[in-house]
Amino acid sequence: MSTIVAFNLIALAGLIVALSLWGVVTPRVIVTFVRSFMHRPMAIWVAIGIRVLLALLLWLAAPLSYTPTLFMLLAAIALLAALVLAVAGSDRVTKMIDHISTWPQQRIRLLCLFGVVFGLFLIWSLSPVWITH
């Protein structure tokens, strides 16, 4: 069960890396993609659900990682992010994305680079699981 959780988190981390790399390479395209996605009626709930899923996977995979305490802290932060999205609501989140779309491309690239580093950190931290299997 634990290894299944870890492999699911590795898959999610891979998706985070891929989307973030997309943003590093083409920052305007990723912002346009996110803006169009967030205009859908259920988008805010999908965003909240992904953060809750990330929190759950981080918490359950923590004992298998090199950094269990940090995984638990990140799980709490992901849950807090889900709560903030729920409280803020779709309109405010869309306004925030609209504001980010006015940023210089280099700033968006830097923000996306944090996503790349985060995803690679998760994959590295779970390497005891995927190296031994």
Q: Which residues contact 28 (CB under 8 A, 6 or more apart)?
A: 101, 105, 108
Q: pLDDT at position 127, please? A: 87
What crossing angle do the helices spanning 43-61 and 68-100 adopt, rounded to 10°? 160
Residue 129 confidence (pLDDT) above 70? no
Predicted local distance difference test score (pLDDT) of residue 133: 54
Amino acid 7: pLDDT = 92
How high is the mean pLDDT of the chain?
A: 93
Confidence (pTM)? 0.91
Domain boundaries, the chain: 2-132
